[in-house]
Amino acid sequence: MFEARLVQCSMLKKVLEAIKELLNEATFDCSDAGIQLQAMDNSHVSLVSLNLRSDGFDKYRCDRNLSMGINLASMTKIMKCAGNDDVLTIKAQDNADNVMFMFESQNQEKVSDYDMKLINLDQEHLGIPETDYSCIIKMPSGEFARICRDLSQFGESVVISCTKEGVKFSAAGDVGAANIKLAQTANVDKEEEAVTIEMQEPVTLTFACRYLNSFTKATALSPQVQLSMSADVPLVVEYKIGDFGHIRYYLAPKIEE
């Protein structure tokens, strides 16, 4: 049987927010190590990779590996019924065709349970190659969300250009052109406010705004975001999830014709 207990169910609400714009359904692979999800969007332009380690949960039991095919709109309906401070327990029997979500209020005076049908998804498991990235940029996640939102007013694409000096985000279209430059921060009081760049080689790549904006739905999960870039390989946008693990988005660059 599978059972996972989470004292603050807001984390799962945020995870769902972070994936439901890109994916209609997904398989949650549960094992002793934790819960993993890996899926490409319908157009095979982006991939979501979620890893929640079992030791992050308040209680975790997984006797046999279990793949739960879940319609994310259905799961969103159920998670909307939970209060942010509710204690969540997810339960499924081995080989079950349903999964149960139980929400308990902090004072345990209200207990709700929701049974959700699982769906059969024939999803491929993909191996993500180890890549040495030419540039790794760490920056406040709110700043990245702001930049993506601002630049998407100017064009469908954002050019990200990283050098030792800093990172430049650019967009151009009918209105005109926009450039936002961020330098590495010299001194910051809080680590989460820092912009840091590790650069082996300068890189310039072009990406679709629409996907970058979808990735920023994960902003609530982490104060920092990490962008990893190399020429001709997908961009990786990573948000750490506290004690649990991470959500990573891979995005294929646009190619010059």
Q: Does 130 bind other proteins (CB under 8 A)?
A: no
Is 253 a binding residue for other proteins by CB under 8 A? The answer is yes
Q: Does residue 208 touch other proteins according to CB under 8 A? A: yes
* Residue type at position 14: K
| Smaller CB separation from other proteins, 140 or 234 | 234
Q: Are 244 and 213 in contact (CB under 8 A)?
A: no
- Using a 10 angstrom Cβ sphere, with 0-12 exposed, 13-18 middle and 19 or more buried, the burial of residue 96 is middle
Q: Which is nearer to other proteins, 73 or 128 (CB)?
A: 128
When asked if residue 129 is in the footprint of other proteins (CB under 8 A), the reply is yes
At position 250, the amino acid (one-letter code) is Y
Q: Which residue, 45 or 99, is less far from other proteins as judged by CB? A: 45
Binding-residue pattern over the window 132 to 171 for other proteins, x denoting contact by CB under 8 A: -------------------------x--------------
- Residue 228 touches other proteins, criterion: CB under 8 A: no
Kind and range of the H or E run holding 123 = none
User: Is 122 near other proteins (CB under 8 A)?
Assistant: no
Q: Which is nearer to other proteins, 234 or 245 (CB)?
A: 234
Residue 175 CB coordination number (10 Å): 10
Instruction: Tell me which of 44, 108, 122, 176 binds other proteins, using CB under 8 A.
Output: 44
Cα(129)–Cα(230) distance, integer angstroms: 13
# residues contacting other proteins (CB under 8 A):
24
CA distance 224 to 235: 16
Q: Is 257 in the site for other proteins (CB under 8 A)?
A: yes
Cα–Cα distance, 40 to 18 (Å, whole number): 14
